[in-house]
Structure 1
């Protein structure tokens, strides 16, 4: 029994430490009305944002991970129609890569 507890406890701790975030919902719009990904990426680049990961969420948002103009690490959800921020999940001050 003790051996089983030793095996399960680390898994349980790791699971509990995982942040639980519901996907952010963006306003519904036809995909034909969305800003093309290439235009979105260029707009972010023009604002000084360095994107390290980009994805479309189940809630129909553009989600980026990267660094803002000040070198802050960010995870932000954007409305894919007009590129307005919907939610900022994480920001941490780190050196630029």
Structure 2
């Protein structure tokens, strides 16, 4: 019974954390990633602009900025290929 209760407590504590975790963008080592400068250039070529935040988030590059249509964007990129893995556009 104690193991069941402990398991339920662990799930209830960890489940909200998992809900906020970003996507898995790559399993490649960081030495295979595009440099931040190369990724920023690629992001700009894709039309993203007014980037407020550019950061490493788990296994992704992540930005907060705007699309070429001036819509708010939160975007996760594969740091090896530069492909969009997940995006939320407002």
Name the TM-score, length of structure 2 as normaliser. 0.71
The structure with the largest helix share of the pair is: 2
Match of 1:91 in 2: 89
1:10-32 CA distance string (max 9 Å, x none) = xxxxxxxxxx5222112200111
Alignment map for 1:2-17 (pairs within 5 Å) = none
Q: 1:47 to 1:23 in 2, by over 3 A?
A: closer
Distance between the aligned counterparts of 1:47 and 1:84, measured in 2?
10
Displacement of 1:70: 0.7
Name the TM-score, length of structure 1 as normaliser. 0.67
Provide structure 1 residue ranges, at least 5 long, that are not aligned to the other structure.
Answer: 1-19, 93-97
Distance between the aligned counterparts of 1:44 and 1:25, measured in 2?
19
Match of 2:28 in 1: 29
Provide structure 2 residue ranges, at least 5 long, that are not aligned to the other structure.
Answer: 1-18
Give the structure with higher Rg (CA): 1
- Residue aligned with 2:74, SS: strand
| Aligned CA-pair RMSD | 1.2
1:51-80 CA distance string (max 9 Å, x none) = 21011112x100111001111110010000
Match of 1:43 in 2: 42
- Residue aligned with 1:74, SS: strand
